[in-house]
Amino acid sequence: MGTISWRWFHLLASPPYVFRLAGQLGPWLAAATVVTLAAGTYGGLVLAPPDYLQGDGFRIIYVHVPSAYIGLMAYVLMASAAACGFIWRIKLAHAVAVSAAPVGASFTFLALVTGAVWGKPMWGTYWQWADARLVSELVLLFLYLGYMLLRAAFDDRDKGDRISAILAAVGVVNVPIIHFSVEWWSTLHQGPTISRLDAPAITMDMLAPLLIMIAGFTLCFAWLVLRRLQAEILEREARTRWVEQLVTQGAV
Amino acid sequence: MASFTSVFARDLKIAIRRWSELATPLIFFVIIASLFPFALSPDVAVLRSAGTGILWIAALLSSLLALDGLFRTDMEDGSMEQLILSPASLGLLVFAKICAHWVVSALPLIVLAPLLALSFYLPVDALPTLIFALALATPTLSALAAIGAALTVSLRTGGGLIGLLVLPLTAPVLIFGTRATDMAVHGEPVLGPLYLLGALAAFCLALGPLAASAALRVSVE
């Protein structure tokens, strides 16, 4: 049993194996994403009852909450992968971190945009500095941008991988500090009252589509990251024989 | 300890001999602060309410200005390799360099800040708090700056990128620093945010040198 699991770990560090695995998982993940997102969208837009206070406006949480969650989760995933790559010198782990960063940044951006769109009818303004969660989401986007810019500034891929891994680790330590300090700051500033869904008061009709949407977004994230990872592996392994064979066979 | 003092003394000596680099961030600080009244309005009420924020932003930006050279000159003349090869822990040596950077760039700023604060009509009673808050906040800034400088030291142009990497991380310092000063202006007890500033400084000074030295090791390779 032990030998099997170790063999599997070694395989996971092998670029050709992960490339093929990602290729095999891709269509399944894509199909699961489409089905789950369709179900969640139907549930969120049609089945869930309108909110007694916000009417139909609350329905944007079915996009906003999952994308905010993915934005944060992706950063932790990216930093963990980068740390694995730094500590054990696994190049593939760096490739995972590099592939996850733009996807995570996009979901963070989506969370900001949907937050702003929701804010217009609810707060009367697109942006509310007093909302701690939006502001810390913005700082998270800056951290993503810093990571991607630093990574792109290096010509030497190996060095860039390891330097940006340190930045990702510094960032992931700072995310909770930034979040709590922004929260503390905004409670002191709290001017106009903000109407917000009370988390425990949410009914099952509203919660179930949200959970389905979160699952769908996670599947979508996994699918996108694996696609990017395939491209990243091909680029990194461009000079190796197995990639050469793939190209001559016309497989890519 | 001997290695700490020798690196610290060496960096101070270099900084004093290059006095123009020492003066630049200070003058930058004064210029940024004095441009704000043009951008806002010379009105007493406006400047008094915005003054705390202006001072803190100016202090933040000018403390970032001096940091590009923190490791770059050592990298170029090869003394960084000597530091890495030395038997003393690199984290300690980086800590010594951070301390020297703080003495050179932050200490004059702390001395100068009360004068600028008076020009923004901040009450005299709030000045001790401002000085304490700056004294607690600037070590954190120096530690973060060291991380940014170490990450970008092997790039040809690090300057702009450092700001992008470091500035988002300074949000907590800015929040607690301005809050402490604002509370002092309004005559409220200020210990809470000052404690938090101190906690941040302890945390960043403990872990910052480690992150910076890891980045330096990779950069030298």
* A-B contacts at Cβ under 8 angstroms: 67
Query: What is the structure's pLDDT at A50?
Result: 75
B177 touches chain A (CB under 8 A): no
The answer to whether the CB of A170 falls within 8 A of the CB of B169 is yes
A98/B52: higher pLDDT: A98
Of the listed ranges A94-98, A112-116, A238-242, the one predicted with least confidence: A238-242
Q: Do B151 and A171 touch (CB under 8 A)?
A: no
Range B54-63 average pLDDT: 87
Using the predicted structure, report yes or no on whether residue A79 has a pLDDT greater than 90. yes
> Residue A168: what residue type?
A
Number of Cα atoms under 13 Å in the Cβ half of residue B35: 7
Query: What is the structure's pLDDT at A197?
Result: 47
Query: What is the structure's pLDDT at B179?
Result: 85
What stretch of H or E contains B42? none
Find the CB nearest A149 among B154, B161, B200.
B161
Q: Quick: pLDDT tens for B76-98.
A: 888 888 888 888 888 899 999 99
Query: What is the structure's pLDDT at A35?
Result: 93
Find the CB nearest A174 among B161, B169, B215.
B169
B200 touches chain A (CB under 8 A): yes
Residue in A with minimal Cα distance to B143: A170
Find the CB nearest A149 among B164, B169, B175.
B164
User: Within chain B, what is the greatest distance between any pair of CA atoms?
Assistant: 58
Find the CB nearest A181 among B147, B161, B171.
B171
- Most confident range (mean pLDDT) of A17-21, A81-85, B15-19 is A81-85
The answer to whether the CB of B159 falls within 8 A of the CB of B134 is no
Query: What is the structure's pLDDT at B2?
Result: 83
HEC letters along chain A: CHHHHHHHHHHHCCHHHHHHHHHHHHHHHHHHHHHHHHHHHHHHHHHCCCECCCEHHHHHHHHHHHHHHHHHHHHHHHHHHHHHHHHHCCHHHHHHHHHHHHHHHHHHHHHHHHHHHHHHHHHCCCCCCCCHHHHHHHHHHHHHHHHHHHHHHCCCHHHHHHHHHHHHHHHHHHHHHHHHHHHHHHHHHCCCCCCCCCCCCCCHHHHHHHHHHHHHHHHHHHHHHHHHHHHHHHHHCCCCHHHHHHHHCCCC
Return left, alpha or beta for A38; rule: phi > 0 is left, psi -120 to 50 is alpha, else beta. Answer: alpha
A145 touches chain B (CB under 8 A): yes
Query: What is the structure's pLDDT at A202?
Result: 63
Q: Quick: pLDDT tens for B166-176.
A: 888 888 898 88
Residue in A with minimal Cα distance to B197: A181
Q: What does the block give as tokens for B4?
A: 């700490």
**With a CB-CB cutoff of 8 Å, which residues 181-220 of chain A face chain B?**
181-182, 184-185, 188
Residue in A with minimal Cα distance to B171: A178
Range A132-146 average pLDDT: 88
Q: What does the block give as tokens for A106?
A: 């996009």
The answer to whether the CB of A129 falls within 8 A of the CB of A60 is no
pLDDT mean across residues, chain A: 84
Q: What does the block give as tokens for B41?
A: 């309005």
The distance of B191 to chain A (nearest Cα, Å) reads: 15
d(CA A248, CA B11) in angstroms, rounded, equals 58
Q: Per-residue confidence at A3, pLDDT binned at 50, 70, 90?
A: low
d(CA B81, CA B154) in angstroms, rounded, equals 13
Q: Do B175 and A163 touch (CB under 8 A)?
A: no
What is the C-alpha R_g of chain A? 21
Q: Quick: pLDDT tens for A230-247.
A: 999 998 888 888 888 888
Within 8 A by CB and 6+ apart from B7, the residues are B83, B93, B96, B97, B100
Residue in B with minimal Cα distance to A185: B175
> Residue A17: what residue type?
Y
Of the listed ranges A16-25, A51-60, B203-212, the one predicted with least confidence: A51-60
B169 touches chain A (CB under 8 A): yes
d(CA B128, CA A125) in angstroms, rounded, equals 38
Q: Do A162 and B168 touch (CB under 8 A)?
A: no
Query: What is the structure's pLDDT at A102?
Result: 94
Residue in A with minimal Cα distance to B180: A185
d(CA B14, CA A126) in angstroms, rounded, equals 51
Query: What is the structure's pLDDT at A195?
Result: 44
In chain B, residues with a C-beta closer than 8 Å to the C-beta of A163 are 151, 154, 215, 218-219
Q: Per-residue confidence at B220, pLDDT binned at 50, 70, 90?
A: confident
Spacing of C-alpha B106 from chain mean position: 6
Q: What single string gives the DSSP state of each residue in B58-125? A: HHHHHHHHGGGHHHHHHHHHTHHHHHHHSSS-HHHHHHHHHHHHIIIIIHHHHHHHHHHHHHTT--GG
Using the predicted structure, report yes or no on whether residue B159 has a pLDDT greater than 80. no
Range A34-38 average pLDDT: 92
Q: Do A163 and B164 touch (CB under 8 A)?
A: no
d(CA A131, CA A138) in angstroms, rounded, equals 11
Q: Per-residue confidence at A216, pLDDT binned at 50, 70, 90?
A: very high
Query: What is the structure's pLDDT at A191?
Result: 43
Using the predicted structure, report yes or no on whether residue B118 has a pLDDT greater than 50. yes
Spacing of C-alpha A91 from chain mean position: 21
d(CA A145, CA B154) in angstroms, rounded, equals 19
Q: Quick: pLDDT tens for B174-196.
A: 888 888 888 888 888 888 888 98
B175 touches chain A (CB under 8 A): yes
d(CA A10, CA A200) in angstroms, rounded, equals 44
In chain A, residues with a C-beta closer than 8 Å to the C-beta of B56 are none
d(CA A134, CA B206) in angstroms, rounded, equals 30
B180 touches chain A (CB under 8 A): no
B211 touches chain A (CB under 8 A): yes
Spacing of C-alpha A102 from chain mean position: 9
pLDDT mean across residues, chain B: 86
CA distances from A130 to A12, A122, A176 (A): 45, 14, 18
Using the predicted structure, report yes or no on whether residue A159 has a pLDDT greater than 80. yes
The answer to whether the CB of B23 falls within 8 A of the CB of B69 is no
